[in-house]
Amino acid sequence: MELIWLIALFVGLLAIRCPVAYAMIITSFIALWTGNLPVLNVSLKIASGVDSFPLLAIPLFILAGNLMNTLGITERIFGLAGALVRHLPGGLGHVNVLASVFFAGMSGSSIADAGGLGAVEIKAMREAGYPPAFSAAITAASATIGPVVPPSIAMVLYAFLAEQSIAAMFLAGIVPGLLMAAAMMALVYSLSRSEAYTCPVMPRATLAEIASATRQAAVPMLAPLILVGGILLGVFTPTEAGVVVVMYALVVGVGYQRFRPTEVMTAVRETVRTSAATLFIIAASMIFGWIVVVHRAPDLTLAFVSTFIESPTAVMACIILTMLVIGMFLEGIPAQVLTVPTFLALATRFGIDPIHMGVVVVLTIMIGSLTPPVGLVLYTVMAISKVRMHSLVRALWPFYLVLLLTTLVVGFVPSLSLWLPGLLLGR
């Protein structure tokens, strides 16, 4: 009964627009006070929650994304994607998706994609005559690829919470990420051929243009290969890979003669703000998660679910549905921290691979980032595009369906996410 009241209090605080970190802290202290739990555990749990070497990768990848946007690397990525696919029906829509795939291999952040690359994409699509709502919708949807394709901040956090290999999580996201991109490009092609949107046809790039764009973007495009290759070969850890990609971005910026100390400091300040907020949420969620575990929430959930669910397929459907609902009201980080312990118990009970479950969790979280009222990517794109929410959500609904379908396929076909880790890591 006490657990129900705690959850009700937490939900109530969120309903009155209390920041999620403060909602967890307030609920936790009330639980400590009413339940006679040891207060010393507060400092211990908070300290242990953020005192983690793998978590250092999060601010590093955030900084890498900010530096790439600041140092002009995103424009070169967009230029290469444009040279490759702009001639297809719905040309710049395909460019938008492909550029997000390229950028994902360097930042791992949907917000960095939407805020930096998205500004370039929306400007180019508007100047070419694409409808503003469609331009914003495809930009928002394609930004969700970032946390799925390695390196991924969301994957790092899940690996930390579930005590899984970060390298395995990175590899597990490659095929689903490419599947997301292919599905979105198919949708863009279909919409461009219908009467729903007017998508100008752009000329095919010449071989000289493709060669020039490739030369300009070649050095940044080496970053994903260096990162993934270095991790798999044991040259550096995923956290050290964050340092590598930051240094790589700085060197590339100097080589492109775009290195300006003031702009770099702006990127650093933005990273500090974002990282501080992220780690504060993680710290708060650690004590909240501990209290939830003390009140046996995972065990009670497992017992409840086991009474009417008897197959891994049904459990996976339950996980997807739960995360879709939670993603509407919680940001990705607290959503993971609060749900992963329970989901791990379910996965263990029904024989679901935790790596596979992690990919599904990240995919559903990305859908949540596009849904009101707490969709961070949604609000980021709204700010950039100046498109109202109702117009953007209306234009996004086909992409919601595509992302949901992709999630269901990945969820019910485990080999899509487990094949590559099994091939390269022997899982």
Q: Percentage of the chain surpassing pLDDT 90? A: 10
Residue 347: its pLDDT value, please? 84
What's the sign of the alpha-carbon dihedral 90, 92, 98, 100?
negative
pLDDT grade, residue 183 (50/70/90)?
very high
- pLDDT for residue 1 is more than 60: no
Q: What is the mean pLDDT of residues 351-366?
A: 91
pLDDT reading at 3 higher than 70:
no
**DSSP three-state, residue 146:** coil
Mean pLDDT of 37-48: 66
Distance of CA 329 to the CA centre of its chain: 16
Q: CA-CA distance, 339 to 7, in Å (whole number)?
A: 13
CA distances from 189 to 4, 87, 143, 178, 352 (A): 48, 11, 18, 16, 35
Burial of residue 253, with CB atoms counted within 10 A of its CB: 0-12 exposed, 13-18 middle, 19 or more buried: buried
- What's the average model confidence in pLDDT over 51-80? 76
342: pLDDT confidence band, cut at 50, 70 and 90? Answer: confident
pTM summary value: 0.81
Average pLDDT over residues 212-229: 79
151: cis peptide before it, omega within 30°? yes
CA 198 to the chain's CA centroid: 30
Percentage of the chain lying above the pLDDT 70 cut: 86
Band (365; pLDDT cuts 50, 70, 90) = confident
pLDDT at residue 280, rounded to an integer: 78
pLDDT of residue 359: 93
- Tens-place pLDDT, residues 97-150: 888 888 776 666 677 667 667 777 788 888 878 888 888 889 889 888 888 888
As a whole number, the mean pLDDT across the chain is 80
**So what's the pLDDT on residue 12?**
80
d(CA 343, CA 329): 18
Q: Read off the pLDDT of each residue in 259-271 and give the average, rounded to a whole number.
A: 80
pLDDT-wise least confident of 108-112, 252-256, 267-271, 314-318: 108-112
CA–CA dist 157, 164 (Å, integer): 10
Q: How confident is the model at residue 8 (pLDDT cuts 50, 70, 90)?
A: confident
pLDDT at residue 55 tops 80: no
Confidence of residue 383 (pLDDT cuts 50, 70, 90): confident
- 175 pLDDT band (50/70/90 cuts)? very high
Amino acid of residue 157: L
Q: How do residues 266-296 score in pLDDT, each as one tens digit?
A: 888 888 887 777 777 777 777 777 777 666 6
For residue 363, what pLDDT is reported? 92
For residue 298, pLDDT over 70 is answered with: no
